[in-house]
Structure formats: structure tokens, C-alpha cells
Amino acid sequence: MRSWRQRRRVSQLDLAIEADVSSRHVSFLETGRARPSREMVMRLAEELEVPLRHRNRLLVAAGFAPVFPEREVRAPEMESVRLALDKILAGHEPYPALVVDANWDLVAANAAAAMFMAGAPAELLTEPVNVMRLSLHPDAMGGRLVNLPEVRAHLLHQLRRQAEMSGSGRLAELHDELAAYTYPGVDLNVVRAPGPADILIPLRIRDGDRVLSMFTTIATFGTPVDVTVSELAIETFWPNDEETAAAFR
């Protein structure tokens, strides 16, 4: 609990106020001088925005059984979730859309998303396919990004922050792996500053003799109580100009 509080940069007093308990009680819980109830673990975890997977671990550490189930996406109980994902992916065509888990491993994608995998080495397309690795690998999309320094800086910052906020060692290792990629002839330190007309940092990808420009949105499920569902994210790609829209159509 202390590590999660420190990760969120919250003091014992601030956490106590938000959870409506005394700071002395929070201190006693962190040092093991007091044993929390299941309800107290759940309340503190909620205030600290601890991911459901780690809330289960907190409950086990406190001597309670996990309360949040973790089902496979293909499980019969997940049919409504699968139908929703399929409808979103299909409805977004002709533009690319994909679903990833907490580790940025690919869960599902529509037909248009195949462009991101074109020309990638076979080892990058072996399950689980990691979308972040595919995006920055120099032999995959990383070698096709016209504005690689800007996109790389943004993705690495995003990945590092996610690793810090989630406490995921796997994401931290992935960040270090991607940060070590080299791109001959590309100066990664030259990042163009946004101009007055810029709204978003687009993905500018070479596709044959043309350059496709896109931006993305990311959506998650609201009020999840299943670990798997809580970790799913839907990323949709949108054309940034009419030439890109026409190319996809």
C-alpha cells in the first residue's frame, strides 16, 4: 500500500482525508501495526486508483480472497464484450482500429490495420504481437515513419508513464528495449516544435510512394469489474487530411 501511495505522490494525510480515516490508521496499516478490513483495502485502493489486477494482490496480501475475476477474452461470459469490440472495429472501417491489453499486446484488429504489419519481420508478427514494438522497430513501422523523432518521443514518454503508474516491470522493460532502437541516418534529437496551425502530432507513415497522415483516439470500458476488461484499450486511427481519407476509401 505504501508503494502505491508513493507512486501516486500522495501523503498519508491526503490519503486519509480522501478515504475518511485517520492518518494514524493509514500509518498503522502501512507498518503492519493494524490489520485492514476487506472494505478498507478496497476503499484505499479505489482512492489510489490501483489497477484491478493489483487490487486483487493487495487483498491477498491482507489475507483476503481476490474479488475481481480475470476471464479470457474468448470466454463465453465475455460474449457481450467481444460483440462490442467487433462492432467498434468493423464500424470504424475503412480506417484502422485495434484493441490492445495492458502490455500493448494485440487482442484484435480490423482489416485496415493490416497496413501497420506490412513488411514487418516474422518475429514481430508472432503472437503475442506487441503494438508498441511494431510501431517503433526500425524494420517495421519505425522505419516507415516520416516524423519518427516526434512520434518516438511521444510513445516512449507514454510508455514510461504507464510503467510508473501501473508498477509494471514488463512495461518498464519494453520501454528500455524500444528506447535502445537505433535508426541509421535519423537524428532522434531533432524534434520539430509544434507550429501555430498544429492541433495533434500525426502519424506520418510511408505507404509505397505516398505518405499517410493519421491521428489516434483511445477508448476504454467504463466501470469494469473484470481484470481483463479493465486492461483493454481500443485505439482508432483517423485520417489527418483528405488525401489519407481518399487512400483508405
Vertex 55, ends 53 and 56: CA angle to 5°?
A: 70
pLDDT of residue 22: 95
Q: What is the separation of C-alpha 36 from the centre of its chain, rounded to a whole number of angstroms?
A: 31
User: DSSP 3-state assignment of 233?
Assistant: strand
Q: What is the separation of C-alpha 15 from the centre of its chain, rounded to a whole number of angstroms?
A: 26
- Residue 123 is given by DSSP the state G
Rounded Cα gap, residues 51 and 33, in angstroms? 25
Is the entire prediction scored with pTM above 0.85? yes
pLDDT of residue 196: 73
Average confidence (pLDDT) over 43-55: 96
Average pLDDT, the chain: 94
98 close to 131: Cβ distance less than 8 angstroms: yes
* CB neighbourhood size of 107 (10 A): 19
For 87-99, how does the pLDDT look when each residue is reduced to its tens digit (9 = 90+)? 999 999 999 999 9
pLDDT tier at 6, thresholds 50, 70, 90:
very high
Vertex 27, ends 26 and 31: CA angle to 5°?
A: 120
Whose grid coordinates read 483517423?
Answer: 238
The answer on pLDDT for 190 being more than 80 is: no
Locate all alpha helices (DSSP H) within 69-147, ordered by sequence.
79-91, 131-136
Q: What are residue 140's DSSP bridge partners?
A: none
Cis peptide before 76 (omega within 30 of 0): no
User: DSSP 3-state assignment of 100?
Assistant: strand
Instruction: Extract the C-alpha cell encoding 188.
Output: 532522434
pLDDT of residue 57: 96
For 129-161, how does the pLDDT look when each residue is reduced to its tens digit (9 = 90+)? 999 999 999 999 999 999 999 999 999 999 999
The answer on pLDDT for 192 being more than 90 is: no
Rounded Cα gap, residues 27 and 11, in angstroms? 10
Specify burial of residue 32 (Cβ count, 10 A radius: 0-12, 13-18, 19+).
exposed
Residue 93 one-letter amino acid: E
- Residue 149 is given by DSSP the state H
The answer on pLDDT for 52 being more than 90 is: yes
Q: What are residue 204's DSSP bridge partners?
A: 213
pLDDT of residue 193: 73
Q: How far is CA 148 from CA 120, 180, 182, 206, in A?
A: 17, 14, 11, 11
pLDDT of residue 201: 87
pLDDT tier at 232, thresholds 50, 70, 90:
very high
Bridge pairing between strands 106-109 and 203-207:
unpaired
